[in-house]
Amino acid sequence: MRAGLPQPVPQLRLKVDGKSRRLDLAYPELKIAIEYDGWEYHSQRSAFDADRVRGNELEIVGWTVLRFTSTSSDDVIVRTVAAALARAARS
């Protein structure tokens, strides 16, 4: 429970429209996905496009997708995830 947040599920696999999808981190009960878009794996056009498609597929079925990069500070990540968890808990 780093920074007071509940432990997310790492490398969650799920099916969306019959396609296997993997999320970096997730709170499946709240449908919150946390994705780290590292330049090493996301710099090619095909990876960039595939990430947009996957993110939209998740959004359509009710997931909130939070995206972070190497420039995202720990403080920003914690505040953003905490806000998403609070919003989901109120729903």
CA angle centred on 66, ends 64 and 72, rounded to 5°: 165
For residue 65, give the 3-state DSSP assignment.
strand
Residue 4 CB partners (closer than 8 Å, separation 6+) = 82
Give me the domain span that covers residue 50: 9-90
For residue 30, give the 3-state DSSP assignment.
helix
CATH number at residue 79: 3.40.960
Is there a domain that residue 74 lies in?
yes
pTM given for the model: 0.86
Given a cut of 60, whether residue 42 has pLDDT beyond it is no
Given a cut of 70, whether residue 26 has pLDDT beyond it is yes
Is there a domain that residue 4 lies in?
no
> What is the percent of the chain with per-residue pLDDT over 90, rounded to a whole number?
68
Is there a domain that residue 2 lies in?
no
Q: What is the count of structural domains for the chain?
A: 1
Give tens-digit pLDDT for 7-22.
Answer: 999 999 999 989 999 9
Q: Which is higher by pLDDT, 60 or 2?
A: 60
